[in-house]
Structures are given as C-alpha cells and as structure tokens.
Structure 1
Amino acid sequence: MALLDALFRAARMARHTPRLAAGLPPDDEVLLDAPDDRLAPALVAAGRGEYDLAAKLLAATRESAEWENRDRYVMRLAGFAQSRPEWFAYWQFAAPHDPDALLVKAQLAVVRGWESPARAELLREVSPLIAAAADGDPRDPVPWRIALDHARGTNAPHTVFEELWTEAVRRSPHHYGCHVAALKYLSAAWYGSHRECFDFAERAAQDALPGSLVQALPARAAFAYLTSDPGGGPAGFARLVPRERLDAAADLAIALSSEYAAADPWPAEVRNLLVYVLVRLERWTDALEQLRLTGPYATSFPWDRVSDDPLGQFLELRDGVRIEVASAMPLRARRVAEDTGGR
C-alpha cells in the first residue's frame, strides 16, 4: 500500500507540477532585494563614488516625513557603504553635520558592531553617533529604531528598552521598523519570551492603521517561534504556542497581502516572510498563492536566516511548494475550460 501511495503521489506531481508554474515569473527574472525606482539611481551613483543623489533622496524623505521609506533607504545605503565605503567617506567629508549623513553613519556603525565578536563593547561606543542622528531631526523615528537595535546588542535592560520605545512611538506610533526592532528585543531569543513576543505583536496589529505593515507583526512573531526549533513538526508547535495562534497570525498577514497589488515591491518582504510561515505550517496552497503575489521580488529576509544563498533558497522553495500542491491534487483533475468548453 505504501508503494502504491508513493506511485500515485509521483503521478500527481508529474501531471500537475508544470501547470502550477502559471503566474510565477521564470527563475532568471526573480530579483533579490531589488531597489525601488527612487533608491536605484542613488545606488548607481554611489557605485560611481557619488553621494549627491543619496543625500537628496534622504533629505526628501526627512522634509516630507516619509519615515517608512527613510528607514528602508537608510538601511540599504548603510549596507552599500559597508561594502563600498568611498562614496560615503566623500559625503561625510563634504557635509559632516548633514543630518542624513549622520543617520547613515549611525546605522553603519551599528551594523558593523553587530558583526564583531566584541559586539556589546563596540556597540556601546556607537551611542554618541545615535544621539547625534537623533538630534538631526527631533521628529524622526528612525534614529530610535537604530537605538532599539543598539539596545538589543548591548544587553540593555527592559527599563532602557521601555524608554527608547516611548521615544520611538511618540514620534511615529505606527512605524513598522520600530515595531520590528521592539519585537526582536521581546523575542525569546533575546530578552523576552514567545508569549511576550506574540502579545506585543497582536496588540500592535490590532491598533495598526489599514494597510499598515504592522499588521504583519504576528507573522514575524510566528517566524521567531518557528525558527526557535520547537521540534516535532506541526504537532510540536503547540508545546508553547497553540497552532491556532500561528494560523491566526498567518491569516492576518494574508489579509494584509490582499490589500496590495500583485508584484508590488512595497510588501515584498512581508510576503516572503509569510511564505516561510505558511510552508512551516504546511499550508501549501496558501503559500503558492503568496508566491504568485510576490512576483519577481525575493528578499534576503527571511531566507538568509536559513541559507547562505537566499535567492537560491527562495527559488528552491517555490519548486517545493508547487510539488506539494501538485501531489495533493486529484490525479485526473482537468482544467475547467477543458471540461466545459470554456463556458
């Protein structure tokens, strides 16, 4: 019987897997961490050693209070400066008191500190840079997101975390980056617990504005839990967090994803994260739908948490999801158009 089941599964996979590729871009069209139309020219210019476009881009986000875009751009520009430092050195020399350059400088210093074996010691030396970035524009929540990441790396107690969190939400109550930084601090991997992490995420999602990425926080809490290796596959999830709570987190993120157009780069990271959660929950059909909505926009997170080749991991997982969906379909399933003549 086991052999017969395996043969039927193989037959279903062979029959249905190829057509389940409909709606998925070919592998060679999938991009990893593709910049948006505003950031791309700044990165190209930085590659030539020029900082003007990056400076203008961040100044525009500051002047128009585009805090979510500002946060994303700062992280990408700091990452670029880490591997290609010349253009940023020119910027700092030309405008040492530029609030936008100070913000990138603080982010870059925190990233470098996190990667060092002497992390806590080096990060403590970064505190003045974060304070200088915060003084650059008192309205800006992004320095406080950096401060929350900094607090996690320096073993800051909960009292310090609460003070930083208060400053962050006073500037932008629904800022996604600050919420993610707080969620990481409160996770079981750092200074909280799975329950504390989920409670924070669910409260924030409930209070979030329509369409806000903050509604995906419970899915991030689920990711933190699922990557903590509870053991035992889906049956083992309920040991600490009930399966119903994980499914509810995924369902909320699915509802959020549905508010955005397919192949929209803005929610790409959330959709990539959601795919991971759905796969771990063995919700294959839902995962395939999210892969179609994601389109060509693969993101390093969450795949870099499980592989040194995030793009390769994303593409391999797409194939695996199609196989799982195909293997569950009836062997003789036919397209509706074939059965009805297109009616």
Structure 2
Amino acid sequence: MAVLRDWGLTLGRWTGRPVAQVQQDSGDPDVGRVREAAGAADWATVREVLEARPESEDRTELLWAVGDTTGVEGWIAEVVEAEPQAPLPRLVAGIRHISWAWEARTAARAKDVSREQFEVFHDRLRTAERWLYEVAEREPQWTSPWYGLQITGRGLQVGQATARRRFEATVRRDPHHLGAHQQQLQQICAKWGGSHEEMHAFAREAAFGAPGGTLLGQLVAVAHIEHWLDLDSGPDAEYMGRPEVAASLREAADHSFRHPDFVRRGAWNQVLNTFAMAFSLAGDRAAARECFHATEGRVTEFPWYYMNGSDPAAAYRKQRSSAGR
C-alpha cells in the first residue's frame, strides 16, 4: 500500500530543474480535507466527502486517507454502533483496521516480527474482513470492500485461489481498477508464491486488454521491476538490460501514458514514476528523461523505495541525473 505524500513544487535555484520532493497524494484537495476531518473525528465531513465520490469514480485514495489516520479506530466504532444499518461507517472501519493491522506488524521482515505482533496483526485483519464482508453484502455493487479483502487476504495468507476470486470480484465491478490489479500482481509475484511467468503474463493481459490510455500499462513496468528485485546483483542488471525488456516497456508506454487518451488524474504520477525507474534500469535514457520531465520533480514513494527505503527522493534524483535530466 504505497502512500503518496503531500507535495509542493520547488524550482531549483541554479539548474531550473524541479527539486525532487515526495508527495503524499495525487493532489486532489478532497484528500487533505477528508484526512483533516478524520483526525478531528468529524464524521459528518468524512461522510460528506466520501458520499460525494461514488464508487464508480474510485474513492480508494479518499478511503485510505481516512484509514491511515491514527485514532479513527476509536471514534468510527461509535459511528457504527449509532448507525447500525449504514454501510459506509463499516467500510471506513474495515479500511482503518487494515492500516492499523500493518501498524502493529510494522514493515520489518517476518523473522523480525514477534509472535505477539503477528497475533495483533491477524486479529485486526480478521476484524477488517468482518466489516468488509458486511459492506459487500449490503452494497453488492461497491468495489471498495472487495479491494480491501484483496489486501486482508494476502496478510491472512488465504491462498492463491481465494485471492484470485477476490480480485475477480473487484474487477467485475470496476474492470480497470488500478489498485485491484496492483494487488493481484503482488499476489502472483514469486515472493508471494507465484512465478515470473505468471506475473508477466498477467501484467500484459491486463495492460493490453484495457483501452489505450488507461493507467494499467504501469503493470508491465512493475512486473519488470519485481523481476529485477528478485534477482541477485549482476543477474538483475543483465535481465533489465535485455533488448526485449526495453521493447516491452516502450510498447506499454505507447499504450498507456503516451496514448492520446491518457488523462492526468488519479495515480497518473505514480505511473510516470514507475516507468521512469523501469526505463532507467533498462538503460533507455531517452525514455527515462521523458518520464522524469513529465513528473516535474513530484516523487511517489512507490516504486522508488525499492531503491532507497529511507529516502525515495534521493533514488529519484540519482536516476534522473544518470538519465541526463
């Protein structure tokens, strides 16, 4: 669940180049508004913002802005009790419990997570699943509960068959839901029990099965980055340097952000950042420069934290410099 940080574009005094700064979100003003309301336990405003963004327009980012806010788990329980028939409070409770679960687990490797941490992690995920299934039953056309269940499923290790059913339930309701496809791609990565072959096939099928100009072209770039991450030093660079990898990235770019129907909304900047990293690793400096130019110094944590977990902007700057941008 890579989260984007708030950003303000600052121009480099001497170079005239945008200074790389990590952004927290897409720049949608409703994200900041709903996050502030969640921090103030202002359910009336949270509900107003969420209800104004229908499921058909993908309110995932707004939900995570609430779900990632400390303390929501306390006051949302009171709202659920006060509105026993309302699905929206349950959806917020479910999303908050997912984020709260990962707070307990932390980002440490599994071997460094205590048994007590795992118990809290799994307990909160199971609570999230209960809320999300209730929402799915009450609002069968909503996408968000099924997307949330994709994430809880990986944490609870429900297995590939169940994970696939949850993904399919999400995309039946929103065929081009980027988050759902990102979660499923992670599910079938080698590190989660899948394979490189399955991952690449899924990424290409999703990207090129969608109309030109959608965000799903990002999946092809993510798959190559995940493959690179899974290899040892040496073989990783050899893999990314293969001509067919660069060709695959260019084909996906043409079908995605280079397509005339591409619109800069939602996670568009994360898509450009992902292609910038992938093209950099593939040694396609011209294509990388194109992507860096389009991002205008706005850095998303994903995928740059793969290169520098403590300072994604530093990884961005290094690769941008290597690309000659």
The TM-score, its normalising length taken from structure 2, stands at 0.78
Which one-letter code corresponds to 1:287 in the other structure?
A: A
Aligned: 1:142 with 2:144: yes
SS in structure 2 opposite 1:33?
Answer: coil
Percentage identity across aligned positions? 23
Show the 5 A alignment for 1:279-318.
279-309=280-310, 312-315=311-314, 317-318=316-317
- Report the equivalent of 1:51: 43
Choose 299-308 or 256-265, whichever is displaced more. Answer: 256-265
Higher-Rg structure is 1
Of 51, 58, 62 in structure 2, the residue corresponding to residue 73 of structure 1 is: 62
Aligned: 1:278 with 2:300: no
- Report the equivalent of 1:330: none
Q: Aligned partners of 2:41, 2:127: CA distance in 1, in Å?
A: 28
Q: Aligned partners of 1:250, 1:121: CA distance in 2, in Å?
A: 44
Q: CA deviation at 1:246?
A: 5.3
- Report the equivalent of 1:10: none
1:66-99 Cα distance to aligned partner (Å, 9 max, x none): 1x2x11211222112x366566466546545432
Q: Aligned partners of 1:58, 1:37: CA distance in 2, in Å?
A: 13
Q: Aligned partners of 1:89, 1:121: CA distance in 2, in Å?
A: 16
Q: Aligned partners of 1:263, 1:140: CA distance in 2, in Å?
A: 24
SS in structure 1 opposite 2:150?
Answer: helix
Q: CA deviation at 1:166?
A: 2.9
Show the 5 A alignment for 1:106-125.
106-115=94-103, 116=105, 117-118=117-118, 119-120=121-122, 122-125=124-127
Which one-letter code corresponds to 1:256 in the other structure?
A: S
Greater relative CO (CA pairs within 8 A, separation 6+) = 1
SS in structure 2 opposite 1:192?
Answer: coil
- Report the equivalent of 1:101: 89
Q: Aligned partners of 2:209, 2:254: CA distance in 1, in Å?
A: 17
Answer whether contact 1:176 1:213 (CA < 8 A) is retained. Answer: yes
Task: Show structure 1 runs of 5+ residues with no match.
Answer: 1-17, 327-343
The TM-score, its normalising length taken from structure 1, stands at 0.74
Answer whether contact 1:31 1:296 (CA < 8 A) is retained. Answer: no
Show the 5 A alignment for 1:117-266.
117-118=117-118, 119-120=121-122, 122-232=124-234, 235-237=237-239, 243-245=243-245, 247-253=247-253, 255-259=255-259, 266=267
1:120-152 Cα distance to aligned partner (Å, 9 max, x none): 565345321220121242111221111112222
SS in structure 2 opposite 1:215?
Answer: helix
Task: Show structure 2 runs of 5+ residues with no match.
Answer: 1-11, 106-116
Which one-letter code corresponds to 2:298 in the other structure?
A: Y
- Give the aligned CA root-mean-square deviation in angstroms: 3.2
**Closer, same or farther: CA 242–146 of 1 in aligned 2, 3 Å:** farther
Which one-letter code corresponds to 2:99 in the other structure?
A: V
Which one-letter code corresponds to 1:43 in the other structure?
A: R
- Report the equivalent of 1:332: none
SS in structure 2 opposite 1:65?
Answer: helix
SS in structure 1 opposite 2:205?
Answer: helix
**Closer, same or farther: CA 147–49 of 1 in aligned 2, 3 Å:** closer
**Closer, same or farther: CA 243–143 of 1 in aligned 2, 3 Å:** farther
1:270-301 Cα distance to aligned partner (Å, 9 max, x none): 11111221222222332222121112432221
Q: CA deviation at 1:268?
A: 0.9
Answer whether contact 2:308 2:315 (CA < 8 A) is retained. Answer: no
Show the 5 A alignment for 1:5-20.
none
Show the 5 A alignment for 1:315-326.
315=314, 317-325=316-324
Q: CA deviation at 1:324?
A: 4.7
Q: CA deviation at 1:207?
A: 1.0
